[in-house]
Every structure is written in C-alpha cells, then in structure tokens.
Amino acid sequence: MQRKPCGSTQQGAVVCITAFLLLFIFPGCGKSSNNHQGPARRGPPKLARQTQNLHAVSTGSPENAKSIPNPSLPEQASSDDFFNLGMIPAIRIHLDQDSWQRLVRDPRSFVRVEVQVDDVIYSDVGLHLKGRRGSFRPLDAKPGFTLKFNEFKKGQRFHGLEKVHLNNSVQDPSFMTEIICSRLFREAGVPAARATNARVQLNGRNLGFYVLVEGLTASFLERSFANTQGNLYDFPYTHDITSSAVKEAKDRDPADLRALAAAAKEQDLEKRWQQLGQVLDLDRFITYLALEVAIWDWDCYAMCRNNYRLYHDPTADKIVFMPHGLDQIFHNPEGSILPVMKGLVARSVLETPQGRRRYFERMAMLAEQRFTPERMTRQTAELQSRIRPVLLELNPNAARKHDQAVARLEQQVHQRIASVQQQLTHPPANPVPSSHFP
C-alpha cells in the first residue's frame, strides 16, 4: 500500500506531521518488503536458533518455560544435533501424588507426568522406573527413569525421539562408559543407542547428574536399518534366545529366534557355520562379540546373557545383535580375550574353526584401528571437559569425585588395551573361566 506524498498546504502539513508521529510510534507501519535492497532479516538461521535455545548446559527455569502444544515440535534440533553437539539438558520432572503412589506399587507401569527440558514443557509424558539388580533405586533415592513422550500424546517427540532413558549411573561414577562404548560399536558397524548426559530434578529435588540414552524404538530402527518392520526382541535378566519369556515389540511369532537357536545347536560344526550364516548377520555378530570382550563388558550377552537386544532385519533376512546397558565396563583389565561364553550363540560361533579365527582377526583389527590408547584418551578428555563444569556448578565435591573416577577409568582402559594387545600375540587355545562375575 503506497502512502500519498505530503503537500505544502496546511492540510498537507498536518498529514505529514501525523504520518511522522505514526511512523515514530509504530516503526513497523508503512514498511514494505519492496523497499528493501536485500532479503529481510528474520533473525538467526534455524540451526543457530536451535543451538542458542539448547545450550550445552542449560539453566532454564519454570518462569520462562514455554509449553509446546504441537507434538511435532518443529523448532527443536534434530536428534543428531542433540547428541553430536554434546548438549547437557536440565530435566525437571513433576510427579503428582497419585502417580507417585502408583509407581511405588508398580515401578514398571507408565504413569502420566509433566516434563520440562530446559525451557520447553512436555505434558502427558509416560514415565516408569528402570534398572535391574544393582542399578534400581526407589523414588526417594536416585531412581532411573524411562520417559516415553508419545505414550499418552500421539506424535509427541523429544528431538525426534519417542523414548529416552535416564540412567542414574550408580555403577559408572565417570558418567562416560555408555557414551564412549556405544560410539565404539556404532563406528565398528554395530547399531547402538546414542547417549549424552543430563541433570535431573524430581518435584524440585535435585537428583544430580545422569546419563541420557535413546530408546530402541521405531526412530532408532529407522536410523539403523532400511526396513523397520522386523521383529525387535528384549530379554529378561540372564535369559537366552531360547527363553519363553522373550518380549517382542509387536507380539509376533518368534520363528526367526527358533531358527537361530536351531542353527546354534547344530552338532556338525561345518553345517553349523553354514546354517548360522543363513539366519545371523555373522560379520556384525563377530564384531559385536569381539568388542564386548575387548572392553570387558562382563554384564553382556556373551558372558552373562544380559543387556542385549535383537532385531530381525527383513532386508537381509538375518538377526542382528545390539548392545545395551554399557555401564559396567573395564572392571577386569586382565580378563581373557577368550572367556567362557554363557550366551548360546556366542559359544556356538566360537566353537567353529571359522568363527574362532575370524573372532581373533576382528579383535586385532579393532585393537589397531578403533580401540587404541590415543582414541580412548581423546574421547575421555573431551567428555570430562564437558561434564566437569556442570558438576562443579552442582557440587564441588561431586566434581572432585568425578576427577578420581575418570582417573580410575583411564587407568583401566589403558591396562585393558595393553592386555588385549599382549594376549593377541598368543591367543588362548581354550576358553578361560573368569572369577570376575557376580
């Protein structure tokens, strides 16, 4: 809309003065995009806005929090940005009295809660307690949580994620091993959940520092596999693939598990190797197995039948093993690189000549390219530089304890790397029993 030019008459003067006052009071009035030489300034680019709003350490408060009614949350950084930028969100959970009592009676059932992450409020989030033997804590201590953002509100996401876990890290005072080791698996080609850190409050009570891990849901499968319509399996503590208590995400027939178990039990070793190759992603499994032992993840599938997930990839028509719960690592630096295997599939593969040979070859390659002192030292230093300032702000004593925990972790890592390299020069001929189990 064009403005009329001001004239020299008294009436024109009045119009000019009036127009000037309007422009002074309302500077946006009368502006036209056609008058600009270049594109209009609309603030920082989208990614820059996301980075500004989601600081590496956030101190958002309820007073300036904004509720997001749109479940798609378009202003959020993607999950890749969230994990890659090393953000440490401040998470405040509000749990009403009824939900509290329900969790006391049944810690594994979802209740409806409100969650504030930095300056964003999520309503109707599903929450239940998490943790098994050794890590479970009640609500009045330092509990672990599972947050499912779309449990009660369809389509709601947190940085594109339907579910995240808040691990209390009571078994990992460094708050690092889940982050470091899951990265090791991913870089070696084995799907593994991404992780970062978080500071958590429950009903105004400061719970301290946590490890935030993405859930193994549809969004995880989309990132890891071309086809997400396969069976995803979870198993109770110390249960193997033959367990009748197996949990499949979509309650479908576990015929693929039965085929894997049958192949693993084949007595003829040559036939076993061939049959395993038809139903199991052998290359990934050998990498998975070699890494579990290299980092001495004693509470894993191979050594304890625990903390693992399986996915039947429809594209390849093969089963893929994935790690879970990487918080008790490097505790026995001198452990054998060929320990006694409790997991059926691990034991079955290593009993074959082909499997044993490829296992040692893969471990040697990983020790040369991935699991090296330089890489591990660099990653530990990067994480400590990010974690320590937050702990120092929360509690100076916690920062000092963290320094000690990191020093112990670095010592264990270097001892383990040296032990693996030394053992690979003369690999054991037979599995070695280990006393470093609960």
pLDDT at 339: 96
Q: Which residues contact 27 (CB under 8 A, 6 or more apart)?
A: none
- Between β-strands 205-214 and 195-202, what pairing exists: parallel, antiparallel or unpaired? antiparallel
pLDDT at 59: 39
Q: Assign 3-class secondary structure to 93-138.
A: EECCHHHHHHHHHCCCCCEEEEEEECCEEEEEEEEEEECCCCCCCC
**AA identity, residue 224:** S
- CA dihedral 357→360→363→364, nearest 10 degrees, is -100
In this prediction, the residues of the chain whose per-residue pLDDT falls under 70 are 1-77, 435-438
pLDDT at 365: 98
**AA identity, residue 302:** A
- Between β-strands 247-248 and 90-94, what pairing exists: parallel, antiparallel or unpaired? unpaired
**Neighbour tally for 141: CB within 10 Å:** 10
pLDDT at 166: 98
pLDDT tens digits for range 110-123: 999 999 999 999 99
For residue 54, what are its two tokens? 């989601």
What is the DSSP secondary structure assignment for residue 158, as one 8-state letter?
A: B
Q: Where are the beta strands (DSSP E) in 277-363?
A: 308-313, 318-323
Q: Which residues contact 93 (CB under 8 A, 6 or more apart)?
A: 113, 114, 115, 127, 145, 200, 201, 202, 203
For residue 53, what are its two tokens? 């709003």
> In residues, how long is the chain?
438
pLDDT at 53: 33
pLDDT tens digits for range 207-225: 999 999 999 998 899 999 9
DSSP SS3 for 357: helix
Residues 280 and 316: their CA atoms lie apart, in Å, by: 9
Indicate the burial class of 372 (C-beta count within 10 angstroms; 0-12, 13-18, 19 or more): middle
Nearest-10 crossing angle of helices 177-187, 282-294: 150
DSSP SS3 for 312: strand
What are the φ/ψ torsions at residue 347 (nearest 5 degrees)? -65, -40
- Between β-strands 163-167 and 111-117, what pairing exists: parallel, antiparallel or unpaired? unpaired
DSSP SS3 for 180: helix
Spatial CA neighbour of 282 closest among 364, 192, 361, 187? 361
Indicate the burial class of 241 (C-beta count within 10 angstroms; 0-12, 13-18, 19 or more): buried
Percentage of the chain beyond pLDDT 90 is 74
Q: Domain map of the chain by residue range? A: 51-221, 226-425
DSSP states of 241-266: TT-TT-EETT----HHHHHHHHHHT-
